[in-house]
Amino acid sequence: MVLAVLVSGVSWASPASGQSAPDPTAAPALTVASSATYRVDVEARRIEVEFGYEFENLTAATAFPGFFESVPVDAVDVVARDGSGELVAGATGDAEGFATWLVGFRTPLEPGDSLTMRLTWAIESGASLPGPIVEPAAVAFDVYAPGPEGASWSAPEVVVPEGFAAVSSAAPTQPYEIVRVEYLDAERFTSTVSVLPPDITISDWQDDGVWGAAVLDRAEAALGSLETWFGPRTRPFEVRRSFASDDHPDVSPNAVDLALNDAESIDHQLAHVWMADVPVDEAWFVEGLAAAFAGDQPNPAGPADIVPVVVAEIGAAGVRTILDDLRANAITYPGVVPEEQPLPPDWRTLLDHFERVAGAGGIDELFRSAVVDPADVSLLDQRAATRVDYNALVFRAGGWTLPPYLRLAMARWDFETFRAEQGPVSDVIVRRDGLLAWGESLELAPRDDAKAIFEAAQDDMSEVTALLDEQERALEAYDEAERLVNGDRGLLAAIGLLGNDVEADLASLRDAWAEGDYARVERDGHELAGLVEGAVGDGTIRLLVPAIGLLVVWQVLRLLRRRFLWRSGPAAGQP
């Protein structure tokens, strides 16, 4: 941090030649009172700074040749002066944006002597960010007071042109504490550059327009991609030129205050605007998506770093799917009808969304390394083991979506409930597959009416099991009837079935199966089987009744003939 450099910024130089070094454990022997004044020069677009010092040497035998001070590395016109004129000063090194300057006294400051002097320097607007911004209607820069720590000091004084009012002007509470101050001339601050559909207003500072033109060009080029990635934008919003640091731009659902106008910065912040309505508890997720869209790296490094890695795999379409689901609060283990996600939109929900769109693909490992607290790693282990069972069950279910009570358990990370409830569901799938294969072997139309009950089951598999029971009984009856109808029946059976169209009856059973009338299949199937099984007996009866009738007639005729012959006696001429 710059503060660490500045805390050691004022240090005393070595004593003059021939003098002994002061005891570091002794009380301070050289005192200083410091002040700071910052003057804004709008026309020159720079900040003029003056540090004032009053030194007094309270030692008995130590002289001091000078002191050290730290100023920004971009500072220009660094000059030290005392009452007699300019002093010798030079930079001795720099670190973290600040340079250390050695200022020599005109003559060593002897014991009992005092000295009043000043150090002046300037920073020009736009030297760096978060550096000073000095524009005709807006000013923002960092202020701090010189030290050293423990010295008598006064808060920096800021002098701005007439018409400027403070937006943020907090004062440091100790030497070398850096505070950002901001001032506006509100009447002249912004003017509308242009309006893009859907009602995107771009505002720049007056007397400029170059910044706004660059934003307009980039925004026009990015509109199509923004909608592809993040969905349609229907609400109006404004892109305003900011006068603050671009490290943390102000982004709201309807506006973004932007300091930079390079393509990456514009794309990044417009992505934030497009995602402002996405309900998510993890700021790193939105930051990572904005960085991925803009093609830059998240800053500071952290969980956001994993997002561009995942985006490279799922693409813009995958990002759009996840954001649409987050906006709809859609469940991460979806069913056949829209359902709400039972968990808040935290890292668990995001992990589920990422894996649902991208597949396993190592995303779990990315979360382990960059997102999840060590205390939650065991939860990830449980999830990984349970998802193996879940995915296996999904595969076996085929075109059937798992019931809500299993999917909800997974979505709320209740893995114990899933493991306890998966057994009956697995049994139903096994039984379903067996009945389907049985029906196919009988050339019956495949039945899928248990699917809707399965996919809507809220508590258990009882309704599905009851329907499968009906199907099984119907298949048993049809199987028996089909075997008997299409078997070798013989002559007696054929005679016994005369007047019955058993093939038509079998076709009627197939129709009843196709209609899902399993009770009819079971009832009529058993009746048809009984009819065919009794056909031999019926045929036998049908043959015996006519035969017995003929035999009776033959016996009657035979009796009548014998009686006739007896009555008539022998004919004439016969012996």
Structure tokens, 257:
């205050």
Higher model confidence: residue 111 or residue 6? 111
Strands 98-109 and 89-95: antiparallel
What pLDDT score does 41 carry? 94
Confidence of residue 484 (pLDDT cuts 50, 70, 90): confident
Structure tokens, 336:
């056949």
Task: Tell me the CA distances in angstroms from 196 to 87, 216, 223, 235, 277, one per residue in order.
Answer: 57, 8, 9, 12, 20
Which of 45-49, 90-94, 283-287, 544-548 has the weakest average pLDDT? 544-548
What pLDDT score does 509 carry? 86
Residues 6+ apart with CB under 8 A from 92: 68, 100, 101, 102
3-state secondary structure of 167: strand
Q: What is the mean pLDDT of residues 488-493?
A: 52
Residues of the chain with pLDDT > 70, as a percent, come to: 80
Q: Which of 487, 484, 499, 480 is nearest to 538 (CA)?
A: 499
Confidence of residue 361 (pLDDT cuts 50, 70, 90): low
| Whole-angstrom distance, CA of residue 332 vs CA of residue 336 | 13
> Across the strands, what pairs with 30?
57
pLDDT at 486 over 80: no
Q: What is the mean pLDDT of residues 374-382?
A: 93
> Across the strands, what pairs with 120?
50, 79
| Whole-angstrom distance, CA of residue 123 vs CA of residue 49 | 8
| Whole-angstrom distance, CA of residue 377 vs CA of residue 406 | 23
Which of 28-32, 185-189, 244-248, 280-284 has the weakest average pLDDT? 244-248
What pLDDT score does 152 carry? 84
| Whole-angstrom distance, CA of residue 17 vs CA of residue 177 | 35
Confidence of residue 97 (pLDDT cuts 50, 70, 90): confident
Higher model confidence: residue 13 or residue 512? 512
| Whole-angstrom distance, CA of residue 212 vs CA of residue 199 | 16
Q: What is the mean pLDDT of residues 216-235?
A: 88
Task: Tell me the CA distances in angstroms from 367 to 323, 458, 489, 527, one per residue in order.
Answer: 19, 32, 71, 64
Structure tokens, 298:
């998240």
Higher model confidence: residue 199 or residue 349? 349
What pLDDT score does 488 carry? 59
Query: Could you tell me the pTM of the whole model?
Result: 0.67
- Tell me the pLDDT of the chain averaged across its residues: 82
| Whole-angstrom distance, CA of residue 107 vs CA of residue 86 | 13
Residue 411 amino acid letter = A
